[in-house]
């Protein structure tokens, strides 16, 4: 009778161990799903950063073209002043037109500079978010490795496996 009770107790403990292992395997599967989602988010953030970097490069090229146009306009103004001293009325009109164009170009340059600063700040924010997600992914991977090691150790009791998790 004592032997039968011992066998029944051992069978019950075995069933509890199996249930604990199933629960831990389910937790590991959930962790792997979370890790896959984080990888997908990291990939998406990386693609967004690359897109923003390309956009920033385009804006910088446009700004360079606008700066070159401003310099070209300034050079044209200096040549006009040298050759149009006699035609004051014509010079006033040309000067006014060129200054208006320069003003518009400077407004465009200021706009591009503002956009560039905003894009750089956003890229910085996305880089930070990517780093945070990578750290979180690393944490999940560490938990998953500890969980895997704990569930695969035949000498480890379910209570000590639970301590690995919590």
Least confident of 17-21, 90-94, 116-120: 90-94
Phi-psi region of 156 (alpha: psi -120 to 50; beta: other; left: phi over 0): beta
Please check whether residue 31 is in contact with residue 140, taking contact to mean a CB–CB distance below 8 angstroms: yes
What pLDDT sits at residue 145?
Answer: 86
At 71 the three-state DSSP class reads helix
136/42 Cα distance (integer angstroms): 11
124/164 Cα distance (integer angstroms): 36
Range(s) of the domain holding residue 23: 2-165
Structural domain count of the chain: 1
Q: What is the CATH number of the domain that holds 141?
A: 1.10.287
Q: For 16-64, what is each residue's pLDDT tens digit?
A: 999 999 999 999 999 999 999 999 999 999 999 999 999 999 999 999 9
CA angle 72, 78, 83 (to 5 degrees): 125
What pLDDT sits at residue 159?
Answer: 57
68: phi then psi, degrees, rounded to nearest 5: -65, -40
Least confident of 18-32, 71-85, 108-122: 71-85
What pLDDT sits at residue 147?
Answer: 78
64/9 Cα distance (integer angstroms): 81
Is residue 111's pLDDT more than 90?
A: yes
Is residue 165's pLDDT more than 70?
A: no
What pLDDT sits at residue 135?
Answer: 93
164/166 Cα distance (integer angstroms): 6
Cα 48 to chain centroid distance, Å, stands at 7
With b meaning 16 or more CB within 10 Å and e meaning fewer, what string describes 125-156?
ebeeebeebeeebeebeebbeebeebbeeeee
Is residue 93's pLDDT more than 70?
A: yes
């Amino acid at each position: 009778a004592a032997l039968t009770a011992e066998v029944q107790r051992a069978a019950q403990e075995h069933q509890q161990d199996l249930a604990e292992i199933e629960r831990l395997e389910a937790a590991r599967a959930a962790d792997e799903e979370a890790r896959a989602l984080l990888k997908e988010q990291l990939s998406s953030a990386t693609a967004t950063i690359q897109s923003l970097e390309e956009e920033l490069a385009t804006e910088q090229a446009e700004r360079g073209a606008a700066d070159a146009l401003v310099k070209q306009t300034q050079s044209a103004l200096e040549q006009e002043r040298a050759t149009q001293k006699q035609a004051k009325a014509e010079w006033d009109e040309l000067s006014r037109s060129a200054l208006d164009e320069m003003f518009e170009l400077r407004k465009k340059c200021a706009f591009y500079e503002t956009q560039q600063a905003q894009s750089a700040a956003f890229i910085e924010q996305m880089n930070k978010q990517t780093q945070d997600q990578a750290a979180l992914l690393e944490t999940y991977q560490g938990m998953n490795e500890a969980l895997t090691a704990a569930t695969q150790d035949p000498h480890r009791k379910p209570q000590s496996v639970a301590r690995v998790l919590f």
